[in-house]
Structures are given as structure tokens and as C-alpha cells.
Amino acid sequence: MPLLRPRPDRPLRVPEYRTVSCPFNGHQVGWCRALCTPVAGRGACGRVAGHAIVGRTQAILAAWTPATAAPSR
């Protein structure tokens, strides 16, 4: 009866080449947890830091100052 036979154990780990060790966590993580300060868009681990990506709206809001606003009438 194949339904009653136990399944062979399979490794549940992610292969080494798919993960990067995080210097802040001290272990492998599958995604960036935004713990480091990115330099030129890259985190301390070498991947693209998602928390360093600035979209168009965020860039416009960061560049806005009351002096650049249109004068009100």
C-alpha cells in the first residue's frame, strides 16, 4: 500500500547559492530586513537594498520645500 508508506525525508533548506549571509543578523536570510545603512543602493551584504530605492513620488516629496512651492494668491 503506497499511501501508508512514509515519505522519504527531503531537505527543506534553501541551497547555499540562493542565500546571502547578513552581517547584521549573523545568519542567512531570504530577503533584506532593512537593518543596514545602504551605500550607493547596496546593503552591507552586497545585494540591492530595497529600503534604499526611492520612487518618483518619494523623490519629489523629498525635494519639495516651502520655497519651491507655487505662491498662493
23-54, pLDDT tens digit by residue? 887 776 766 778 888 888 888 888 888 778 88
Domain borders along the chain are: 17-64
Nearest to 48 by CA among 56, 59, 58, 36: 36
* Structure letter (DSSP) for residue 16: G
54: region left, alpha or beta (phi > 0 left; psi from -120 to 50 alpha): beta
Contact 29, 35 (CB under 8 A): no
pLDDT at 44: 84
Nearest to 29 by CA among 38, 39, 18: 18
Nearest to 40 by CA among 24, 53, 23, 29: 53
Task: Confirm whether pTM is higher than 0.85.
Answer: no
pLDDT at 72: 64
pLDDT at 2: 63
